[in-house]
Amino acid sequence: MDIPTLVQIVTSVTNTLFVIVLAAGYYYTWKASQQTLREMQAQRTAMGRPLVVVQEDYDSLPELDITIRNVSEGAARDITFEFSAPIENSSGFGISEMPYFENGLDFLPPNGEISCYWDELDSLLPFLDKKGLRDGIRVTVRYKDLAGASYESSWKLDPFLYKDTGLVKRKGMADLVRAVEKLGSKDGDKNAPRSAE
């Protein structure tokens, strides 16, 4: 076999290998883009990934609420809750036995929330301490997005964080509305018709 024939065979084999490598690269790139496209479609269908949190709401301390929030732009469905210990207030009322905790929620819209009153901090802390719950209560939340993907998150309710903290409650819009209503009711009393004596 002469050199020009050998060079021609090597060139043909090299070109064939190059075409095979190029085709394989194109195939894997196409496959990856299809996967990305499917994920984008699922994301659009689901309106984003939901994130459901359960937390103590300290806005009105010393009163404490428990709030379930979907803090995302994606809707959540088939929401269930699991507690490391029953959540009760100081009078023994079972908060974790409320229907939406016990039976779960079918749906929670983006940025939706549900709150319930838990207890006053001064009554709740000794009650939890007596029950041996100084480390808080763990809540595991399981839910799905609209496309059916499943998620799980875990949160800790720990009212002892707010003991002796000296938290300052800032005035908000609700406080302003109450103040205006109070002024309105005082002015209303002055302008009310007086009965003839």
Spatial distance between the Cα atoms of 149 and 132, rounded to a whole number of angstroms: 37
Spatial distance between the Cα atoms of 28 and 165, rounded to a whole number of angstroms: 57
In tens, the pLDDT along 140-184 reads 999 998 888 899 999 999 999 888 766 555 566 667 777 788 887
Strand arrangement of the beta sheet that strand 63-70 belongs to: 52-57, 63-70, 113-120
DSSP letters, 46-69, are: HTS---EEEEEE-TTTTEEEEEEE
CATH architecture designation of domain 52-165: Sandwich (2.60)
Give phi and psi for 195, each to the nearest 5. -75, 145
In tens, the pLDDT along 12-38 reads 889 999 999 999 999 999 999 898 888
Spatial distance between the Cα atoms of 125 and 11, rounded to a whole number of angstroms: 82
DSSP class of residue 85 equals S
Mean pLDDT of 5-10: 86
Mean pLDDT of 93-107: 95
Q: How confident is the model at residue 196 (pLDDT cuts 50, 70, 90)?
A: very low
The pLDDT value recorded for residue 186 is 64
Residue 123: in which H helix or E strand, if any?
Answer: helix 121-130
Mean pLDDT of 34-49: 74
List the domain boundaries for the chain: 1-46, 52-165
Q: Taking the model in full, what pTM does it have?
A: 0.63
Sequence-ordered strand ranges (E) for the chain: 52-57, 63-70, 76-83, 105-108, 113-120, 137-144, 150-157
Residue 134 has pLDDT above 70, yes or no: yes
